[in-house]
Structures are given as structure tokens and as C-alpha cells.
Amino acid sequence: MKICIGGFQHETNTFAPSPATWDDFARGGGWPPLQRGADLFDGVAGINLPITGFVDAMRARRDQLVPTAWAAASPSAHVTRDAYERIAAMIVGDIAAARPDAVYLDLHGAMVTEHLDDGEGELLARIRAVTGPRVPIVASLDLHANVTARMIANADAFVAYRTYPHVDMADTGAAAAALLERMLRDGAPRPAMAHVRIPFLIPLVSQCTMLEPLASLYASLPAREGSGVWSVSFTPGFPAADFPECGPVAIAVADTRDAAERAARQLAHDVAAIERDFVLEVLSPEAGVQRALRTAAAGATRPTVIADAQDNPGAGGDSNTTGMLRALLDARAPRASLGLMADPEVARAAHAAGVGATLTLPLGGKSKVPGDAPLEAPWVVERLSDGRLVGTGPFYRGARMQLGPCACLRIGGVRVIVSCEKPQLADQEMYRFIGIEPTAEAILVNKSSVHFRADFAPIAEEILVCKAPGPMLADPAEFPWQRLGPDTRFIRMGR
């Protein structure tokens, strides 16, 4: 059989300062750049990505995998019309030309464009228009997908990640392959898919599956499958997309419509029962740094890791706000490092000045977030790097990053890694590549919400979540919503 494969990944924060342009997808940043045709196989090989897991799982079959295009850009504000239409045209055009027996797509599920609320729903509708109703379309989804009715209507099956940090991305691609194989068996019935929307927004920092309440909920999913239920998925949603279908969704794929609806309703009921358990402690930058200093003074031998959660570039931040850095400097914190501060101008100036030079330049603070501003101080250029590294942790495993010219700058005991690109700090190698050993620090400030936990929890004395000014608010109730569904509730974070 001829199976077309492709992918289009973007998580859209409609409140974020910077859009996702064609160049952002072409470069890729922390993920592979745009891949087209046969180059796709080598471009994603060995990386923790759904499409990689799908390809690896399907190698045992004798089917022909026909690559279309795969593209991803760091989460940000809306995908530009130009970028969306160019990439969608590649995927849809290649599928139309191939006339496949089946289609697999590696999607995120929370894409909003300059001209479309529902980027994935539109893409799936265009694909369905060229394949016709009989060709199975299966897609893997990010755990943070805002699944829409149009997405459900134009696909046969979805399967979503079950971990946040997303250590199971490749595994989810393999699960999608298993669903598609089941559909392609001789005489196999086409399954039904159902979804149930849950009327409250779950803060991103509370969606970690290493913590309760979601640890237990996701552990229960395998037992919900079987007896005619092919697959169940729960997507807590991406709570920063201002459109009516933003929010959590329970999904089920089953032999019959009734079975799918029952499974989805039961999962949604169980999520609703734990609504109050999503409240999480969130600290101010000053309180977080002081707590970390007390932990170190008490004799801790491992670092306190602080999430600079509101400037998470994995959720639309530009990775350049200065609130946490100011708190470290004001406290004169010893053995403290922050990463990454995306500021190409300062990174290139450090390379021009050389190791040992002192630069007094405004650093960061360029995203125009209220309460944030550039930080001008005399920085010593301690180390330089070309920004090339390979991820070694569970989340970024195998990712070949190209961060552009990077510099490690220092004032006293505080170091900051300045880069040109802005992937979230979720891998210990993102400190080591420029000479900082994370296990030797007393404080690590990571511009990330949750993904860092996969690689940093094993080395952390304690993990704290702080809310310095930034575009990805830890408490979704604080966003200036205009278009949410009228019945949507908010879970207010702990103080």
C-alpha cells in the first residue's frame, strides 16, 4: 500500500509578541528545519519525534511510505498566512499527486494562523477533499492540542502524547502506526471517533504528568482500552489561544459510535472530578531566589531548579525577559546560571569582543511585555560557542540544535547563556555545551514550564515555579480573553 506521511507542528499563543514566519519553519531552531520529499527520512532520523516513531514502526511492513513535507517552528504568536499556505500547499499537493491508500500526519493540534482559528482542521479538510472519504487519515497530536470539531470530522483517528514532559513523542507516532495498521487489515471495519470538551482551562504548569493529578489519570488510560475501544486520549489543551474551542478534550476511537462516545464521556467525567487538584504553588522571582538560597545555605548538594515559566519559548515566549535574571543579581546569588537568553545582538557582540572582555550592553527585555525591560550591566564574556549541540535528555533526545553564536556572560556568581535561537531550556546539554556543569550549580533558572523536569528532576534538590513578567501567563485567568466559550471556567493558581 502507498501511505503518505507528513507533518505541520505549531503551538500558537495568540497573546505572544512574535509571529511564526516562513523563515522560522525553514530554520527549525531546536527542531529539524523544514523537510521535503525523500530528505525527510534522514532529517528526522533518531530524534524523539512522532513522525520518527511512525516511520520506524512501519519499516517492518512492505508498504511504500511517500514523504510529503514536515515542518515545525517554536511556539509563538499566529502562524503567518504566507507560512501556512506555503507549507499546507506542499503537504496537500504531494498527497493529491500520490493518490495514497492512507495518510499519516504528525500534527500539534493547537495552531492558529493569521487567517484561521483552526489550522489543523483546515489542513485536514483540504486533505480529505483530495483523498475522498475512503482513505484512512490518522494523526498523532501533542498533549496540548486544542482539538476542534472540524479536526474530528476530517480524520479517522487521533492519538495524543501521554507525557508532559513529552518523552513519548516517538512512541506516540508508533501508536498511530498501530492504529493505521489495524485499519488497513483485510476486512477491518472503519472505527468511529468521538470527543467531549471539558469546560475549564488547565494552567500549563499544572499539566505535568510527573505530578498529580495527571500522573494517575494518564496511568489509567491503558485500562480504558480494549473490548471494542481502540484508543483513548486526553488533551489538557493549550490555554493561551483565544478562540472558542480552546481547552481540554477527551477523545476515544472505537468499533462503534456508541462505544467511542461512552469512553470519551467517562474520561471527561473523571477529568472534571479532579478540577480542584490542578492548583499549584507559584512564587514571585524574589521569593523563589530567596528560597533557593536558603536551601543552598542549609547544605544542599544539588541545585534548586527554577522554572521561569512565563517566558517559556515552548509556549510562545521569546526567551528574553529579564525578571528572573534581575532577582538573581539583586540577591548576589552564588553559583547561579540562567538559560537561554535569546538576544542575537548581544551574542554577536560578545563574539566580536572575545573571551575576557567586559560588555556594557542592554541585555534581553525586547519582547515589550509589561513589567519587563532590557538589563544593562557590565558583563564579562566568560565563554563562547558556535551553538551546535545534540540533545541527550529524555525530551530533546537526538535533537541536533543549531543555536547560532552563543556566549556565557557573568557578573559575580551569576551566569547567563545568551543565544541567537530560542528553544526552551530542557536538556542538561544546553548548559554543558558552553562550559557550565549544571550539577555543580546551586541555582539553575530554566526558561521552560515543564519539559525541563524530564532531565533536571533527577539532579534537582527542589523544583520551584516562578512567575516573572512574560507572555505565557501561569494563571490563564489573567489573559485578556475576548473569544472563549461563554461557559469556560478558570483554575486559579496558588500563591
Q: What are the tens digits of pLDDT across the range 409-459? A: 999 999 999 999 999 999 999 999 999 999 999 999 999 999 999 999 999
What parts of the chain have a pLDDT lower than 50? none
Average pLDDT, the chain: 96
Q: What is the pLDDT of residue 262?
A: 98
Sheet holding 249-254, edge to edge: 192-197, 249-254, 229-235
For the record, the C-alpha cell of 396 comes out as 530533546
Q: What are the tens digits of pLDDT across the range 205-215? A: 999 999 999 99
What residue ranges in 213-293 does DSSP mark as E strands? 229-235, 249-254
- Cell 536551601 belongs to residue: 295
Name the pTM for this structure. Answer: 0.94
- CA atoms of 394 and 341, how far apart (whole Å): 22
DSSP H stretches of helix in 298-338: 323-330
Cα 122 to Cα 113, 176, 191, 446: the distances in Å are 11, 21, 22, 35
Residue 66 is inside which H or E element, if any? strand 64-72
Cα 96 to Cα 70, 100, 370: the distances in Å are 16, 8, 47
Question: What letter would DSSP give residue 30?
Answer: T
* Phi/psi of residue 314, nearest 5 degrees: -85, 5
Q: What is the pLDDT of residue 62?
A: 80
Q: Is the separation of the CB atoms in 38 and 6 below 8 Å?
A: no
Nearest CA to 363 out of 404, 322, 412, 329 is that of 322
Dihedral angle, C-alpha 261, 263, 264, 266, nearest 10 °: 120
Question: What letter would DSSP give residue 191?
Answer: P
Q: What is the pLDDT of residue 494?
A: 62
For the record, the C-alpha cell of 33 comes out as 528545519
Three-state DSSP at 325 gives helix
Q: What is the pLDDT of residue 403?
A: 95
Q: What is the pLDDT of residue 63?
A: 86
Residue 355 is inside which H or E element, if any? none
Bond from prior residue into 213 cis (ω within 30 degrees of 0): yes
- CA atoms of 397 and 167, how far apart (whole Å): 9
Nearest CA to 317 out of 451, 140, 125 is that of 451
- CA atoms of 66 and 47, how far apart (whole Å): 19
Residues in contact with 184: Cβ distance below 8 Å, sequence separation at least 6, in sequence order: 1, 101, 102, 136
- CA atoms of 443 and 440, how far apart (whole Å): 9
Domain segments of the chain as ranges: 2-278, 285-473
How does 140-164 read in b/e, with b if 16+ C-beta sit within 10 Å? bbbbbbbbbebbbebbbbbbbbbbb
